[in-house]
Structure 1
Amino acid sequence: MVESNQSASLWPHLYEPFSRIGTKLKNWLAPASDASSSDNAYRITVELPGVTEEDIELTAENGLLTVSGEKVEETEEKGATWYFSERQYGSFRRSFRMPEDADIGKTEAHVKDGVLTITVPRRTPDESQGKKIPVKKS
């Protein structure tokens, strides 16, 4: 009986490194983000630690705002009797469907401390609802 309890407690420890790999892979392919809105703008923040502004591409097409790029991370640690080096490379991509009143042409983006902040202004109700076109007599 004691052996089965010990082996049962051993199995979760064997799978633990694999669960962390899945989380790392998910974070590399689709970085964490947060979206909010106010009366005059939409704001999206995307966590991109270790990514420089040169490695970020922001595109807009057909109401879809897409953040993509390349992430390169290198870690090196040294001790008196040991040395550890790790390199991770990969591309990421995250897309956001914007509402009809978003003025994507006036989008602004800034990166600071590994966080990309995207601000998309909202059109005024008059601009987003269209215009009435008068019909004239010929």
Structure 2
Amino acid sequence: MLIGKEPGGPIVLSERRYGSFQRTFRMPDGGDAEKIAANFSKGVLSVTLPKTQEAQQNERKIQIKSA
């Protein structure tokens, strides 16, 4: 399983299994549940959950200082 987030990019979860299986996960707060979309193509499930207007207003950039 690989979970990572590129700056400004999507969160990526990758896993490989044989046979049937079930995966459940919680959606993050601040998402608009009415606009959720999922697509399954070539063995890849993509789930899109847009942020609500309220969650977008709470975004901010944090400057990282290095030594």
Which TM-score tier does this pair reach, normalised by the shorter chain? 0.3 to 0.5
Which is greater in Rg?
1
Higher helix content, 1 or 2? 1
Higher strand content, 1 or 2? 1
What TM-score do the two structures reach when normalised by structure 1?
0.27
What TM-score do the two structures reach when normalised by structure 2?
0.48
Give the structure, 1 or 2, with the largest relative contact order (CA under 8 Å, sep 6 or more).
Answer: 1
